[in-house]
Amino acid sequence: SMIADGKVQPVGWPAGDLLTSEAFLARGRFFTHSEVAAGAQVCVLGYKTADDLFLGDDPIGQTVWINRKPCEVIGVIAELETVDEQERTRSKPNETFYLPVSTAVQNLFENDPWVEITARVTDEARMDEAKTQIAAHLRLRHGIEQGNDGKWLDDFRLTTKKDILGVQQDAARTFSVLLAALAVVSLVVGGFGIMNVMLVSVTERTREIGVRMAVGARQQDVVLQFLLEAALLSLAGGLVGILVGILAIPLAASLNAGLALLDPASIPVALLVALATGIIFGLYPALRAARLDPIEALRYE
């Protein structure tokens, strides 16, 4: 026998209903309806749970003690590489300890347990209707009444995939706004950096500007020169940022446990934004350079 002391998560489960369409028993059997009705002290182990507790030995017929209650192991679920997304549960099949739901409710929980029921509709367009019908049935069965404000005093919560998707979309929108704000701040900070660099350049090249004007350069020629330099400086920074972003995609995918894709259209957009930033923040230094007095510029040391 083994004592499961904080190593497994007990989960109550109905009879004859494996976790997913992909789940099957590697050894033994699942508990029956009669065992569920009787609250039998039997259990089915996840693949990893069985391996951790029995170190590769056959667990069938062995006794596992959990919360000071004995349970006979009658089955082991085969290792699951993937779980169908439509049937995914929050539990981890490979690492969990399954027993009849009646046994879990009666013997293994000090506090009132919560029960999760997963339902599937045949027509997704009628999901809201099904949600309303389920709520009405549970309210009738639980004897739930309305409060003074007209709201039902439900002791349950119903969640559909549409609800979950809505929460995820709200979170994504909030995250997008935060990213946009961060991008704007970064552009402004980078723009002021470019402007400071160009102002220093104008100061250091005052004599050069004076010479150009003395040999016939017009003010617009000087403006164009410094705008081009600011634009090239900003484009160089944009290219470095794009390269870093591309190299960071595999890291983002590993942290997100999923896919991180690059939108090809975002590259020219990023370059255009970098170009515009360089021109906007390079305009003041360029105008300042063009307004220099050629005579004073030639005298500058």
What sign has the CA pseudo-torsion 19, 22, 23, 28?
positive
pLDDT in tens, 34-74: 888 888 999 899 888 888 888 888 999 999 887 788 889 99
Q: What is the pLDDT of residue 84?
A: 46
Buried b / exposed e over 15-46, threshold 16 CB at 10 Å, is beebbbeebeeebbebbeeebbeebbbbbbbb
Q: What is the pLDDT of residue 80?
A: 72
Domain map (residue ranges) of the chain: 2-107, 124-158, 162-299
Rounded CA-CA distance 98/100 in Å is 7
Residue type, 126: R
Helices (H), 86-126: 101-107
Residues in Cβ contact with 265 at an 8 Å cutoff, skipping those fewer than 6 apart: none
pTM given for the model: 0.54
Q: What is the pLDDT of residue 300?
A: 75
Q: Which residue has the tokens 């330099």?
A: 229
**At residue 76, does pLDDT exceed 50?**
yes
Q: What is the pLDDT of residue 128?
A: 86
| Cβ–Cβ under 8 Å, residues 250 and 282 | no
